[in-house]
Amino acid sequence: MAPVTINIISGRSGTGKTTILERLLPELAGRGLKVAALKSQIHHYDLDLPGKDTWRFAAAGAAVAGMTTPEKFILIGTDRERGGLAAALAMLREMDLVLFEGDRQSPNPKIEVVRAAVNKTPLLPDNVIAVVTDMADLAVPVPVFDLDDSRGLAGFIEERFFSGAAGGGPESEAALTHFDRSGRPRMVDVSAKEQTLREAYARGEIVMDPATLARVRDGAMAKGDVLGVAQVAAIMAVKETGRLIPMAHPLGVSGVEVDFELVEAENKIEIGVRVRLAGQTGVEMEALTGVSVAALTIYDMCKAADKGMVIQNIRLLEKKGGRSGLYRREQ
């Protein structure tokens, strides 16, 4: 699911957009949000100079070139068809929020900065959702925040785009119950709910003997490619969740990603399943079902060698979208 994107704009330079961003970032991070900050609509930058290594990598055909240190990284890419903005957002899809400094023409939600010493009259282009200013008497049809009120602005962003992020934001009891007034089971009616982008990521693990794990790693199991079959099983299970879980809705899932990590120090395989769709209900059950069936498939393919395998710790790590907003499990 694409992250929420907001542009911080102003009518003129020198209004302090960078400083506002700098103060806003720790406030948003403190609310548990993954936030990226980008300078938008610049015409050139000096990092990727001709002749430098990253320039040479890109010239040789690398889709993305970059540099890393033990703590940091920087990536440079080119996408002439989509443009830099769309390409950057595609790479940042694991972020919750991307803040762009600049670009008044963007269709994204915008926060405008107005300072008395620089630009007393706000531009208020389409989709401005708030104004940050040092003018106490500024009259605009959107919420107004003081230049120094980073906490208030962060709270506004969280409330507007990530309602319920702090604790999962449970919906009303009536909206969640799977029983009607007479106590009989029912499938919840979601027809009145807004169709939004939704995403869920679940993980689980299967613990086995070291020799079994080695055979899975080396592709030496008699039944074949264990992880390849488990990956297909997870995808099939995601698509069948509405048939397997009595009160789950049949969903038109738009994307499924399955990942495996062999943790030899703990003799286990960790399984991750990420599910996305645009719809009226979430995909948490689909992600959890995918993990469960992948683990069962691994057990089935390895049981002749190791019947003592243990499937455990299946849990939801993250969900996005819907009225309850963002949920992220604390590890």
- Summarised one tens digit per residue, pLDDT across range 130-161 is 999 999 888 899 999 999 999 999 999 988 88
Any idea which residues carry the catalytic annotation?
Answer: 300
> What is the crossing angle of helices 226-244 and 284-302, to 10°?
140
State the angle between helix axes of 150-161 and 17-29 in degrees (0 to 180), rounded to the nearest 10: 60
Q: Which two tokens stand for residue 187?
A: 């499938």
Residues 327, 168: contact at Cβ < 8 Å?
yes
State residue 39's pLDDT score.
80
Alpha helices by DSSP H, 32-74: 53-59
The owner of tokens 């785009």 is 161
3-state helix, strand, coil in the chain (%, to 5): 30, 25, 45
CATH 3.30.70.640 positions along the chain are 196-328
pLDDT in the model for residue 322 = 73
Write the class of the CATH domain 196-328.
alpha beta
> Contact at 8 Å (CB) between 278 and 197?
yes
> If you search the block for the tokens 């610049």, which residue do you land on?
42
State which fold the 4-161 domain adopts: Rossmann fold (3.40.50)
Classify each residue of 302-315 as buried b or exposed e, where b means 16 or more C-beta atoms within 10 Å of its C-beta. Answer: beebbeebebeebe
Residues of the chain with pLDDT under 50: 164-176, 181-182
pLDDT of residue 229: 96
- Regarding pTM above 0.75, the answer is no
CATH 3.40.50.300 in the chain is located at: 4-161
The pLDDT score that the predictor gives to residue 280 is: 80
Query: How far is the C-alpha of 47 from the C-alpha of 43, rounded, in Å?
Result: 13
pLDDT tens per residue, range 221-245 = 999 999 999 999 999 999 999 999 8
> What is the per-residue pLDDT for 173?
38
117 phi, psi to nearest 5 deg? -80, -10
DSSP 266: G
